[in-house]
Amino acid sequence: METQDILKKVRRIEIKTKRLSDHIFSGEYHSSFKGRGMTFSEVRPYQYGDDIRTIDWNVTARFKEPYIKVFEEERELTMMLLVDVSGSESFGTSVQQKREMITEMCATLAFSAIQNNDKVGVIFFTDEIEMFIPPKKGKSHILRIIRELVDFQPKSTGTDLNKALKYFANIMKKKTIAFILSDFMNDGYEEPLKIAAKKHDITGIRVYDRNEESIPNLGMVNMTDAETGKTMLVNTASNSVRSQYANWYQNNKKYFKNAFLKSGSGTIDTRVDRSYVKALLGYFKNREK
């Protein structure tokens, strides 16, 4: 992609996702993840999206405008985005590719975090750790993340969430809010997820295309595995072939749900032809209950 095209795409994503984070998600993100800390730090003027339970009524009465109490834990939150950039994320048969939706969701979450003065970092992974962007604050940092999401070219095409989780747990020593964005088309990551979830607040966001759920009956078809690059002739007219694939897909989906549930982590399912806004909002609101 040419540099000018990348910049235009980054700008489009910035305009759309920043608007969402400004008007919708900053308040929801704040309420969902910013619990009151143990150590009082200061008071500051109330901002849109702040939890009304933190209002300091004595200071509010004195200055004739709302002020809130700020606690030390609230000032040190870090968001990490673990982004699957393997070959399967380029799949998309309808509105957009999975990778495009992941990019928008990452941008929305990142802008929501910096609205609350939090740091944001990213780990790009395949079956290798492709890139680590250390957590920082500020709009220019978020725009750099979006540029990488738009144009990043991974060295590998496979997927190994096990390795990504171990790397994340090793490099992030303090408690972190982590979102893992992937299609989760593999397994074998239950144990490292449990270990990471003991310290960090983790949410898995499964992004999928409805046409991945089953193979249509198209007769003999050449199919290429996006992660291995292998091409094979598949008899899609065979009931057993279609059944085996459907079972494999459902097993991965169940593994994702069960692994995150057992670790005490949250999950979000979002389809590329549906609104991720509703999925995120629903998740944030449920966390507040």
Q: Where are the domains of the chain?
A: 3-29+77-288, 35-71
pLDDT at 11 over 80: yes
For domain 3-29+77-288, say whether CATH 3.40.50.410 is its number: yes
Q: Which of 1-15, 32-46, 217-231, 247-261 has the highest mean pLDDT?
A: 247-261
| Res. 40 pLDDT band, cuts 50 70 90 | low
Residue 72 pLDDT class (50, 70, 90 cuts):
low
Per-residue pLDDT, 202: 97
Confidence label for 36 from pLDDT (cuts 50, 70 and 90): very low
The predicted model gives 277-289 an average pLDDT of 85
Query: Would you say residue 29 has pLDDT above 90?
Result: no
pLDDT digits (tens, 9 = 90+) for 161-216: 999 999 999 999 888 999 999 999 989 999 999 999 999 999 999 999 988 888 88
The CA distance from 212 to 43, in Å, is: 51
Answer yes or no: is pLDDT of 107 > 70.
yes
At position 127, the amino acid (one-letter code) is D
Mean predicted lDDT score pLDDT of the chain: 87
pLDDT in tens, 217-245: 888 888 877 767 788 888 888 899 899 98
Question: Which residues, other chains included, contact 205 with Cβ-Cβ below 8 Å and sequence gap of 6+?
Answer: 102, 105, 179, 180, 181, 182, 267, 268, 270
Whole-number pLDDT of residue 191 = 97
Higher pLDDT, 76 or 61: 61
Q: What percent of the chain has pLDDT over 90?
A: 49
Query: Would you list the DSSP string of 98-137?
Result: HHHHHHHHHHHHHHHHHHTT-EEEEEEESSSEEEEEEEE-
Residue 124, strand partner residues:
83, 131
The pLDDT assigned to 15 comes to: 84
The radius of gyration of the chain's CA atoms, rounded to the nearest angstrom, is 21
pLDDT value of residue 53: 84
Give residue 37's pLDDT.
47
Is the pLDDT reported for residue 263 higher than 80? yes
Tell me phi and psi for residue 209, to 5 degrees: -110, 135
| Residue 91 binned pLDDT confidence (cut-offs 50, 70, 90) | low
Which among 147, 153, 179, 154 has a CA at the least distance from the CA of 165? 179
% of the chain with per-residue pLDDT over 70 = 90
